[in-house]
Structure 1
Amino acid sequence: MSEAASVQAVRATIGDSEFDRDTAVTLREPGVYDIDLSAGWTIINAVNGGYLLAVLGRALADALPHSDPFTISAHYLTASQPGPAVVRTDVVRTGRTLSTGQASLFQYDEAGREVERIRVLASYGDLDTLPDDVRTTAKAPAIPPMDQCFGPQDAPAPIPGSSAITDRLFLKLDPSTLGWALGAPSGKGEMRAWFGLADGRDADPLSLLLAVDALPPTAFEIGLSGWVPTVELTVHVRSRPAPGPLRVSITTRNLAGGFLEEDAEVWDSADRLVAQSRQLARVRLG
């Protein structure tokens, strides 16, 4: 069986996978949810921002009358750590086709005081009610076949910044965006890859919130190294993804003042643009 076929042969199902278990929140009281953030989604010592966004996205899906995120904007205030956390939600407005809510994730400091980690504002709807009409100039990224791409397991040495999250993901990176791994970055702020979850679970709107922030930073291919923490991330979910692997393309056009932007597109197996995002991230210079 080819790699593409093996990825599409789903082993875990939506609702019963590691991703679902690790993003599950427990209702404590109306609008308040408890979760134990899993160490399996960490980068270096910090919890991945896309995983965290999916956690808050799941809490809002429960708190709002609509279940699908259409747009969600997050500000990352302090670095999250594995362990207990509390998500507090607030319904801002409910309508017939869209509902808007906000949520914050808190953890506790050494004195037992709540520290806000992330704050989000989001609008939710029902993706299945959207019309099928598509008029676009966007084109799916040209990524070589999977057997011509490379994942973390193919690296001759540990990839800088690699961590537990790589074991949860299926990643096959476009060789033309892998110069940084060989000590010869192209200087272009580009990263492209086939993407999926390691247990074979197909993508859904919540896992798209992870997909936009799961590839190595474009800063690596610009020639920088080290942690690239997210300051702000906005995701637009455009369609429910078809079964099968995703293609993710991320580009950076401007690094200035120690910050860069990353624009991401996520395409499904039916050649449909299913999610877009932009984030502002801090980089370490020098």
Structure 2
Amino acid sequence: MAQAIAPASIGNSEFDRDTAVSRRGPGVFDATLSEGWTIFDAVNGGYLLALVGRALGEELPHSDPFSITAHYLTASRPGPAEIRTETIRAGRTLSTGQATLVQYDAQGAPVERLRVLASYGDLDALDPEVRTSAKPPVLPPVEQCLGASDAPDGKVVPGSNAITERLLLKLDPATIGWAVGQPSGKGETRAWFGLADGRDPDPLSLLLAVDALPPTAFDLGLMGWMPTVELTVHVRHRPAPGPLRVAVATRNLAHGFLEEDAEVWDSADRLVAQSRQLARVVQPG
């Protein structure tokens, strides 16, 4: 009888290995962007934010991202990268820092890929009181939702899509009419989310979760590349073990740009992360 394989754990998973950073000197870290987190041959923006977020967590006196904003300047490619961090302010409850992720071109010149400004703190030290009118998204059971294995070619999104092999992503059937040429026109995407190796969520993986679903533009009938211009994430709680529910919506597509608002809910029905991003709509052809 084959021995059961234990699920990966926080600190010992592919996600942790692929977001690992190595301190080279004061405020400077080396990293390797893994090709396993690519889509359309570019490295996923949520993965990049988690990678830079890990470096800031090692540089700042606090380890948990509270608010983190990234501006994506050029498309990142798999391979070596350098993260340069700076502590702007270190307080008792919050510390603020900034970081840039740099890669080098064929001539050896540095190319800045993204720039990040973030505030960090201790999620476990927060006041436990919560007053909210937000409600978790209503999703069918996981077994009634659809993932890559249900697609004819094994891909959630057309084109290069290595990232889906690393995710447990089960989409609400009500939001994937675009896959059969029948988008709803509402600009909504909902899904159960987890890491494929069974690793439980933590604050860093929430930075990935907000940018891991198919673009809401697909539900508007636009099937192209949606590069992120800017992404802001607010982490509100340390997530409980188990799958996450992610709901993303857009209300305004204008002049080739759209916004996406995301909510991430944990297995304890808590709103653990919120985000807004501005993305550019690049039509094929």
TM-score range for the pair, normalised by the shorter chain length: over 0.9
Kept after mapping to 2: 8 A contact 1:160/1:226: no
Quote how far apart the aligned CAs of 1:284 are.
Answer: 2.3
Deviation string 1:45-81 (CA, Å, 9 cap, x unpaired) is 1000000000000000000000000000000000000
- Which residue of structure 2 lines up, in the alignment, with residue 148 of structure 1? 144
Q: Which residue of 1 aligns with 2:90?
A: 94
Instruction: In structure 2, give the amino acid aligned to 1:200.
Output: G
> Partner of 2:99 in structure 1?
103
Q: Give yes or no for contact 1:149–1:172 (8 Å, CA) kept in 2.
A: yes
Are the equivalent residues in 1 in contact too, given 2:41–2:160 (CA < 8 A)?
A: no
Matched, 1:13 2:14: no
Which of 264, 280, 283 in structure 1 is aligned with 2:281?
283
Query: 2: distance between equivalents of 1:26 and 1:201?
Result: 22
Corresponding residue number in structure 2 for 1:6: none
1:252 aligns with 2:236: no
Counterpart position of 1:71:
67
- Name the amino acid aligned to 1:82: P
- Give the deviation of 1:10 after TM superposition: 6.5
For each residue in 1:211-261, what CA deviation from the matched residue of structure 2 results, as whole angstroms up to 9, or x when unmatched?
A: 000000001110001210000000000000000000000000000000000
Over aligned residue pairs, what C-alpha RMSD do you find?
1.3
Q: What pairs up with 1:165-176 in 2 under 5 angstroms?
A: 165-176=163-174
TM (norm. structure 2) is: 0.96
Q: Which runs of 5+ in 1 are unaligned?
A: 1-8
1:162 Cα offset (Å) = 5.0
Does the C-alpha gap of structure 1 residues 230 and 25 become closer, same or farther in structure 2, counting only changes over 3 Å? same
Q: Percent identity?
A: 74
- Report the equivalent of 2:225: 227
Deviations 1:149-189 (A, max 9, x none): 00011012343245110000000000000101111111110
Conservation of the 8 A alpha-carbon contact between 2:38 and 2:160: no
1:32-71 residue pairs with structure 2 within 5 A? 32-71=28-67
Give the number of equivalent residue pairs.
279
Q: Secondary structure at the match of 2:57?
A: helix
SS at 1:53 equivalent: helix
